[in-house]
Structure formats: C-alpha cells, structure tokens
Structure 1
Amino acid sequence: MTETTKTHPIAKIIIVLMLLVLAIVVLFPFFALLLASFKPSTELLRYGLNLKLQAHLMSFKNYIYLFQDGAKYLTWYKNSLIITAVGTVLSLLFSSMVGYALAVYDFKGRNATFILVLAVMMIPTEILMLPLYKLMVSFKMINTYWGVIVPTMVAPIAIFFFRQYALGLPRELLDAARIDGCSEFRIFFSIMVPLMKPAFGAMAILQAMGYWNSFLWPTVVLRTEDMFTLPIGLSGLLTPYGNNYDILISGSLLTILPIIILFMFFQRYFISGLTVGGVKG
C-alpha cells in the first residue's frame, strides 16, 4: 500500500506530461495557421506553414482585406450564422420530438419507423442529392436559406441519439403528469426537455458544426454570391488564376470563433450527453 501511494503522484505527473505533449501536437496546426494569417501569400508559397516569428513580414493586411468595402466576407459570415442558428434550433426541436416519440410511445409501426431511420443513416448524401434538389425546385427554395435548412432539418443521427437517451427517462414522471392533467406537449416541453439537457447540449454542438461546415449541399442550392456561406465563399479564393492562401487562412481562422463559443456554453453537457445517450438501449 505504501509503495502504491508513493508511485501514484509520479504516475499522475507522467499522465499530465503526456497529455500536455498531446495538446501541443494537436494545437500545432492552429498556431501555424495563426502565424500564417499575418504573412503575405508569397512567404507562404515559399516556405509553407511554420512557426517562425518574422515580425518584419507580419501585418494585419489580410484581415483588413476581409472587411474592406466590396468584400463579401461579412455577408458570408451572416449567411452562415443564420443557417446554422435556425437549422440547429429546428433540428434539435424536431429530431428530439421524433426520437422521444420512438422511445416513449407504443404505436403500430414504431419498430419499422426506427429501422427506416437507421436505413436512412446508411444512405450517402450524394445519392439523395438529385431528388432533394428537384424537391427544392418544386418548393421554390433554390438560392434561399430554407433550401439549405429544410432537407437536413430532421437528422437521422439526431433522432437515433435522442431515442437512445429518452429510453433512460423515468416513465413514472409521464404517468404522474398525465394524472395531473398535463397534455403530451406540456409533458415533453416542461418535464422531458429539462431532463434531456445533456442530449441537447451534445447534439447542439454536433448539429451546429454540421451546418457551419456544410459545403456540398449549399453549393448545389445557393446560386448568387450574396447568398453564399463561408465554406463556399472562401473556396472561391482558390482559382486557376491565383491562390489567395493568405486571405483564405485569415478568413478560415475567424470561422472557428462561433464553434469555440458554442462549445464553451455546452461543454459540460457534451461528454455526459454522448456517454449516456450512447449506452442506453
């Protein structure tokens, strides 16, 4: 017992050092991009990404260019924020309701519906792209925010996750609420949603990242430059006639901020939500 007690602090120090080294390795690309965002494109093409602090070459010209008159960066940023915010909220709302219903209510065809959800998860997005595009054309949603949001508003992976989490909710609360005269909607929003906060926190981060980084489907739906999202707009900086890597890196770094802020708000729910939701069954 004494030997174990003496070696425990040493093992703890080793673990901390290993995690510190791992963190440095993981953050290395971020620091390299941060320094590169202040350097001219010619320097990047000549030496690539590095950690050299060349003060005489570094400036804020790249960031100034992003926000100068005529630049569409703020417009792209606004479009991405709107699509991500609206899409995430609607996806959490509808996906949680479907997942909750599949877990709590007994109705004919429940298992078949769940199997269908699992089947849709296995279908690549590229296969569904043509029928979805025709559907958006018929709904007159091309080049609109709704054209990007509606096809992914009810996500199969989110339905599966909420169902797994809702399977662990106490059914006694449902019976007690019904005896008190609560409607099914009030039971869901007033009782079950607060109990599902970890699930909402985890899915909020994952769904928001999906909308924020989405490139292929917005490229198909959005037509004009004023409607482009950040991934589409920034990709336009790379052309056969010139590659503005300096502007691209600066713009890409600023796109990380909303995801970092979102993670800071929901990080306490993220791990617990993924852990609990992944083992219920």
Structure 2
Amino acid sequence: MKTRKRISSIITTVVLAIVGFLILIPFWFLLISSFKNSADIFGQGLNIHLDFSKMSFSNYGKLLTNNDGIFFTWFKNSAMITIVQTLAVLALCSMVGYGLAQYRFKGRNFIFMLVLIMLMVPGDILLIPMYKLITNMGLMDTFAGVILPGVIPPATVFFFRQYAIGIPHDFAEAARIDGAGEFRIFFQIYAPMMKPAFGAMTIMTSMGAWNNFLWPLIVMRSDENLVIPAGLLTAMTPYGNNYDIVFSGSMMSIIPIIILFLFNQKSFISGMTIGGVKG
C-alpha cells in the first residue's frame, strides 16, 4: 500500500512538473524576447534560446522614453483603475455575499438565483448595453466609465457567499445581544474571519482589472487615458515592427501582479481552498 502511494505521488509530481514547465515556456519566450530587437524576435522563428550577443536593455529605454514617456501615464492609469475597482469590488461583493449567506429575508433565493444566472451570461454579450449606458451617463473617456460596470461581478459575490455561509450565526447573535449594529458586526467580526476570501479575491480582482483590455479600449478615447494593454496596442503598426516595445511593455506590466501574488499567496491559496468547498 505504501509503495502504491509513493508511486502515485511520484507520477503526480512528474506530471505537475511537466505541466508547470509547459506553462512557463510562453513566459520565458516573453522574457528573453523583451531584450531583443524586432528583427531578431521572429528572425529564426519562435525560439527560446538565449543569445546574449543579440540582447540588450535598449527596448526598455525605448519603451520608457517613447512619446515623452507615455508608458508611465498608462501605468498610472492602470494602477489607479485597479486599486479603485479592487477596493470597490471587495467592499460591495463581500457585503452582498455576507448578506445572502447570513440573513433570512424574502427574495433571498431569487437574488441568489439571479447571481447564478449572471454567472452563465458571457461578458461579451453585455458590451453593447454597457456601452449605451455609459454613453448616456456621459462617462465615456473617464475612469468611472471603466470601473463602474465591473464593481459587482457575480463570481465574486458567489465566492464570498460560499465562504460566509460556513461561518456560524452565533457570532452575530452574540454581538447583537451586546448592542452591536449590523455594520459593526460585519466589519469587526465577520470581515476578519473572511480574510482568506479577501486575499483570494484581491488577487483575482486585481488581475482582472489590471489585464482588462477590451472594455478600456472601448471607453477611452484619448491616448493619455489608456491603460497598459490598450496603450501597447497603439504601439503596433500594420507592419508589426514594434514588437520590441510590446514585449518589453508586457514584461513590465507583469511585475506588479507577481509582487502582489508573492505578498498575498498564503491568503490566496487558503481562500481558494476553503471557499471552494464550503456551502
């Protein structure tokens, strides 16, 4: 029996190592290509070989000085949108999920059913209605126009609800007996116990907001208001001769997400593991 478990463990480790290696290949290609000029990136087809004689930091210098350093403006826009949207999503979705899990009220199951229905609706279908709504509200070419449609994603509400439903009601009852209000019960009692869920959703929401490409491209009209993914698209030409800027810019855009994950990985793993099995 022990031998069988050991063999199974070895096979699992080998398979996961192979999968991890395959996943890292595109990242490795992006990394080494960010140090090459456009002619060398595809000169001999797609390759992942290191050739230090053809690699330099000139791409990053060109990226940071192109159009009077507009990349810094794109970076600031992406950071501002990501921070505001992440804070709004965490605050609103955690309260909605907590309410659906801990309160008994008429229409609760109907609201939760709507959340489940929205999970099954592809986001691309909503682009035209959202565009019309943002246009009528006069929010085109503004950060609010990018942020508002995504402040209550149904998947995040569902995740917080599944996590909060496993927390006993006794804490709230005891707090009410002591005279605590509903907001105080949530922020001082339940929110700290939902820390792993907040950690997991912080990373997922930040990644979604930071990497969002299509919606900011639709809403924003001026180059100064673009985010990094949409801004890098403007660096391309019909002849595709700016891959050096695109690759180096893409590499720079990955760094904040990696740092966020490294500082929050324990909460992310704990939240995804526990939240995935509760309820």
State the TM bucket, normalised to the shorter chain.
over 0.9
- Structure 1: segments with no counterpart, 5+ residues: none
Regions of 4+ moved over 6 Å: 7-11
Q: Which residue of 1 aligns with 2:234?
A: 236
Matched residue of 1:43: which SS? helix
Q: Are positions 1:54 and 2:51 aligned together?
A: yes
Aligned-partner Cα distance in 2 for 1:122–1:156:
10
- Whether the 8 Å CA contact 1:41–1:245 is kept in 2: the answer is yes
Aligned residue among 15, 23, 27 for 1:26: 23
Q: Residues 241 and 71 of structure 1: is their aligned pair in 2 closer, same or farther, counting only changes over 3 Å?
A: farther
Q: Cα RMSD between the aligned structures? A: 2.0
Aligned residue among 205, 208, 211 for 2:209: 211
Deviation (angstroms), 1:127? 2.3
* Aligned amino acid, residue 139 of structure 2: M
- Whether the 8 Å CA contact 1:237–1:243 is kept in 2: the answer is no
Deviation (angstroms), 1:237? 2.3
**Pairs within 5 Å for 1:199-278:** 199-278=197-276
Percent identical among aligned pairs is 51
Q: Residues 8 and 278 of structure 1: is their aligned pair in 2 closer, same or farther, counting only changes over 3 Å?
A: closer
Q: Residues 124 and 16 of structure 1: is their aligned pair in 2 closer, same or farther, counting only changes over 3 Å?
A: closer
Structure 1 length-normalised TM: 0.92
Aligned-partner Cα distance in 2 for 1:168–1:191:
14
Q: Residues 20 and 211 of structure 1: is their aligned pair in 2 closer, same or farther, counting only changes over 3 Å?
A: same
- Whether the 8 Å CA contact 1:83–1:149 is kept in 2: the answer is yes
Q: Residues 67 and 106 of structure 1: is their aligned pair in 2 closer, same or farther, counting only changes over 3 Å?
A: same
Aligned residue among 87, 100, 103 for 2:101: 103
Q: Which residue of 2 aligns with 1:182?
A: 180
Deviation (angstroms), 1:8? 7.1
Q: Residues 124 and 13 of structure 1: is their aligned pair in 2 closer, same or farther, counting only changes over 3 Å?
A: closer
Structure 2 length-normalised TM: 0.92
Deviation (angstroms), 1:111? 0.7
- Whether the 8 Å CA contact 1:91–1:154 is kept in 2: the answer is yes
Aligned-partner Cα distance in 1 for 2:267–2:98:
18
Q: After alignment, is 12-21 or 58-67 more displaced?
A: 12-21
- Whether the 8 Å CA contact 1:148–1:218 is kept in 2: the answer is yes
Q: Residues 265 and 57 of structure 1: is their aligned pair in 2 closer, same or farther, counting only changes over 3 Å?
A: same
Aligned residue among 81, 85, 88 for 2:86: 88
Deviation (angstroms), 1:139? 2.3
Q: Which residue of 1 aligns with 2:123?
A: 125
Aligned residue among 195, 198, 206 for 1:197: 195
Q: Which residue of 2 aligns with 1:45?
A: 42
Q: Residues 131 and 28 of structure 1: is their aligned pair in 2 closer, same or farther, counting only changes over 3 Å?
A: closer
Q: Residues 12 and 225 of structure 1: is their aligned pair in 2 closer, same or farther, counting only changes over 3 Å?
A: same
Q: Which residue of 1 aligns with 2:153?
A: 155
Deviation (angstroms), 1:18? 4.8
How many equivalent pairs are there?
278
Q: Which residue of 1 aligns with 2:70?
A: 72
Aligned-partner Cα distance in 1 for 2:216–2:49:
37
